[in-house]
Structure 1
Amino acid sequence: MTRNVIGLFIILFGIAAAPTFAEDSQFDPGLPQISWSDTVDHYGTRCVVYGTVVASKDIGSRCFLNFDKDFRTTFTAVVPSNLYGQFTSNPQKLFLNKHVRVVGEIVKFKDKPEIVIAAAGDIQIIDSPEPPKKGEEVKTQGNTVTPEATAKSGTPKAQAPTAFTPAAPKVLTDGVVKIATFNVLNLFDNFDDPYVDSEYYPGKRDSEIENLAKIIRQADADVVAFQEVENRGVLENFVATHLSGMGYCDVVLIEGNNPRGIDVGLISRLPVGEVTSHRHVDFRSADGKDMRFQRDLLQVSIEPEGYSPFDVFVVHLKSKHGGADESRPIRLGETLAIRKKLDRILTNDPQALFVICGDFNDTFDSEPLQRLVGSGDTKLTAFFDDLPEDKRITYNRSYLSMIDFVLGSPGMAGLYVPKSYDVILGTVETNGSDHNLVSAQFKLKKQP
Structure 2
Amino acid sequence: MRHLLIIYLFLVPLVLPADCRNLAPAQGVPAPQADEWTLATLNLWRLRDTRKDSRLDEPLSAAVLNRRIQALADFIAGPLQAPHMLAVQEVENRELLEKLTARLARKGHHYRVVLKEGNDPSGMDVGLLYRQPVRIASVSRLFAEQGFHGHSLFSRPPLRVTVQDPRQWQLVIVHLRSARGLHKPQVHGKRQSQAALLANWVGEQDGPLVMAGDFNTTWDAGRFSASYERFAESGLFNLWQRLPEPERYSFRHRCRPQALDHIWVSADLKMSVSRVAASRGNVGRYDSLYGSQGVAPVSDHDALVVYFSAKK
TM tier, smaller? 0.7 to 0.9
Aligned to 1:258: 120
Aligned to 1:442: 308
Q: Aligned to 1:248, what secondary structure does the other structure show?
A: coil
Quote how far apart the aligned CAs of 1:425 are: 3.8
Matched, 1:226 2:88: yes
Give distance in 2, aligned partners of 1:440 and 1:53. 50
Matched, 1:407 2:264: yes
Distance 1:279 1:51, change over 3 A: farther
Give distance in 2, aligned partners of 1:438 and 1:216. 12
Higher relative contact order (CA 8 A, sep 6+): 2
Maintained 8 Å contact 1:391/1:423 = no
Quote how far apart the aligned CAs of 1:422 are: 2.6
Give distance in 1, aligned partners of 2:217 and 2:304. 15
Distance 1:281 1:51, change over 3 A: same
Which residues of structure 1 form unaligned runs of 5+?
1-34, 36-48, 55-64, 66-86, 95-171
Distance 1:413 1:50, change over 3 A: farther
Maintained 8 Å contact 1:257/1:294 = yes
Aligned positions of 1:215-364 closer than 5 A: 215-217=75-77, 218-219=79-80, 220-242=82-104, 244-269=106-131, 270-282=134-146, 291-304=152-165, 307-323=166-182, 326=185, 327-345=187-205, 349=206, 352-364=207-219
Distance 1:411 1:246, change over 3 A: farther
Maintained 8 Å contact 1:180/1:438 = yes
> Which amino acid letter does the alignment assign opposite residue 110 of structure 2?
Y
> Which amino acid letter does the alignment assign opposite residue 177 of structure 1?
W
Give distance in 1, aligned partners of 2:6 and 2:304. 37
Instruction: State the Cα deviation string for residues 172-205 of structure 1 (Å, max 9, x = none).
Output: 9965220000000111111233xx3453353545
Maintained 8 Å contact 1:197/1:261 = no
- Normalised to the residue count of structure 1, the TM-score between the two structures is 0.55
Match of 2:13 among 91, 110, 116: 91
Which residues of structure 2 form unaligned runs of 5+?
17-31, 290-295
Maintained 8 Å contact 1:397/1:434 = no
Aligned positions of 1:109-120 closer than 5 A: none
Give distance in 1, aligned partners of 2:265 and 2:227. 17
Quote how far apart the aligned CAs of 1:291 are: 4.2
Distance 1:360 1:422, change over 3 A: same
Maintained 8 Å contact 2:162/2:170 = yes
Structure having the larger proportion of residues in helix: 2
Instruction: State the Cα deviation string for residues 48-102 of structure 1 (Å, max 9, x = none).
Output: x984699xxxxxxxxxx8xxxxxxxxxxxxxxxxxxxxx99973537xxxxxxxx
Maintained 8 Å contact 2:94/2:113 = yes
Quote how far apart the aligned CAs of 1:245 are: 3.5
Instruction: State the Cα deviation string for residues 242-275 of structure 1 (Å, max 9, x = none).
Output: 4534433420000001000000000101222100
CA RMSD, aligned part only? 3.1
Instruction: State the Cα deviation string for residues 308-367 of structure 1 (Å, max 9, x = none).
Output: 21221110011122335552221111111111221111xxx2xx1121111111113412
Instruction: State the Cα deviation string for residues 260-313 of structure 1 (Å, max 9, x = none).
Output: 0000000101222100112524255xxx87742121110112222xx4212211
% identity of equivalent residues: 25
Give distance in 2, aligned partners of 1:389 and 1:445. 28
Give distance in 2, aligned partners of 1:233 and 1:50. 45
Matched, 1:391 2:235: no
- Normalised to the residue count of structure 2, the TM-score between the two structures is 0.77
Give distance in 2, aligned partners of 1:411 and 1:182. 24
